[in-house]
Amino acid sequence: MDLMGPFPLTERGNQYILVIVDFLTRFAVVRALPNKYAETVAEAVSEVFADLGIPQTVLTDQGREFRNEILKEMAKHMQFQHHKITAYHPASNGLCERTNQQVLNILRGMWTEKISTGIFT
User: From first to last of its 121 residues, what are the pLDDT tens digits of the chain?
Assistant: 999 989 888 889 999 999 999 999 999 999 999 999 999 999 999 999 999 999 999 999 888 999 999 999 999 999 999 999 876 666 677 788 889 899 999 888 877 766 666 555 4
CB-CB contact of 13 with 31 (8 Å) = no
Question: Across all residues in the chain, what is the average pLDDT?
Answer: 88
Buried-exposed string 47-68: b where 16+ CB fall within 10 A, e elsewhere: ebbeeeeebeebbbbebebbeb
What CATH number is associated with residue 33?
3.30.420.10
Provide the residue range defining the domain that includes 70: 2-117
Cβ neighbours of residue 47 closer than 8 Å, sequence gap 6 or more: 31
What residue type is assigned to position 24 of the chain? L
> Count of domains in the chain?
1
**This prediction's pTM:** 0.84
Can you give 94-116 as a three-state secondary structure string? HHHHHHHHHHHHHHHHHHHHHHH
Beta bridge partners of 107: none
Give the dihedral sign, CA 79/35/3/17.
positive
